[in-house]
Amino acid sequence: MDNIDLSIIVPVFNVEGYLKRALDSILLQLSSITYEILLIDDGSSDKSGAICDEYQSHFPNVFVSHIENNGVAEARNLGISLSRGNYLYFMDPDDFLSDDFFEQICPNLNGKWNVLCFGYNEIKENNNTILSCRSHSYQHLGLLKKEEFRNDFIDLFKTDMMYNVWSRIYNKEFILKNNIKFPSRPIGEDTLFNFQVYQHLDNILFIDSTLYNYIAGRSGSALTEFNPRRIEIQLDELQALQKLLDQFQIEDDTLIQEIKTKIVVSAAFQISNLSLRVQEKIELLQSLVDNQAFESIFLGNRNQIIGSYKMLLRRKDISSYLRRLCIDLLASKKFRTVIFVEKLKMNPILRKIVFK
């Protein structure tokens, strides 16, 4: 297949219950776009590899590579090296495309941008039955040149839509020219990939379309389970973000403080869901408070911290879990716990959630 418009790269690992839906959402698209699907089976131990082979046997534009388990970063980098399209799209195997995905992006495949960004739906489901759906879309629309993008970077980043790779399409020539690759790490590779992209960006296009369906909170997802290593990685990402802000000559500590607060809130929520004794939860939560990297958010100015997290304050699931945990903590009557709770009260975000 020559002159391919789009290479869709899908890293696959133990997603037998989701993979067919993802692939069908691509193959049932109606458009004149020429495309290939590169399925990189990253050592799956379930039927995912067999499903990949089945689709390859039925569709001439589906190509499968079976590799040893090296993580999503290596799988995507292999996909880049194997790709033949002018544009690159990275899709997760447990999500699915909106019906008009190709129809909406087709008029924009004109080579005039480094990155094309679009909106997405955040879906919660149970046994493939949708329970809730929240749409995320950009307020900044149209083509932004380098300086415009840098001037708007803080506002764009506060939307929480600038981390992922599945709500944007990348110009392959731009990626190869700047030698941009996914860093090999267990989690957070999307963020650092995009930081490289933003560092070299000449222009970026935002369109008013919601084209991707992201399944949030899937059991077993790296983003839904507490992992102390993840906090270390997120703090590394913050250092990389600070370097990017320095390069853009942006002096604004607000964004860093807000992200730190979000890390603490997310980690506390995940800890509250762990099947552990209360004392073990206390120790994990205490490690958050004692981490010097978070000292500023417990002592910080309220206006600096609140930022873009008003949405978190309206999430009843987080509130109920953390309030329940707080009762457990207070019931334990440990002196260290009292100190912890007092520190918790000092943070406006956590105070509103837990003591509301």
Quote the radius of gyration of the chain (alpha carbons, Å): 21
| Separation of alpha carbons 295 and 313, rounded Å | 21
Residue 123 β-bridge partners: 133, 215
Nearest to 166, CA basis, from 253, 107, 93: 93
- Domain 4-215 -> CATH class: alpha beta
| Separation of alpha carbons 350 and 329, rounded Å | 15
pTM score of the predicted model:
0.80
Return all residues near 143 (Cβ < 8 A) that are at least 6 apart: 112, 113, 203, 204, 205
How large is the angle between the packed helices 254-272 and 278-290, nearest 10 degrees? 170
User: How far does the chain reach from its first CA to its final CA, in angstroms?
Assistant: 59
Residue spans per domain, the chain: 4-215, 253-354
Q: What is the pLDDT along the chain (356 residues), one digit of tens a residue?
A: 567 999 999 999 999 999 999 999 999 998 889 999 999 999 999 999 999 999 999 999 999 999 999 999 999 999 999 999 999 999 999 999 999 999 999 999 998 999 999 999 999 988 878 888 999 999 889 999 999 999 999 999 888 899 999 999 999 999 999 999 999 877 789 999 999 999 999 999 999 999 999 998 765 555 557 787 888 888 899 999 999 999 999 987 778 877 887 787 778 777 777 777 767 776 777 777 778 887 776 654 433 333 333 333 344 444 454 554 444 444 443 334 445 555 555 555 555 544 44
HSE-CB at 242 with a 13 A cutoff on CA atoms is 12
Ramachandran class of 124: left when φ > 0, alpha when ψ lies in -120 to 50, beta otherwise: beta
| Separation of alpha carbons 170 and 349, rounded Å | 36
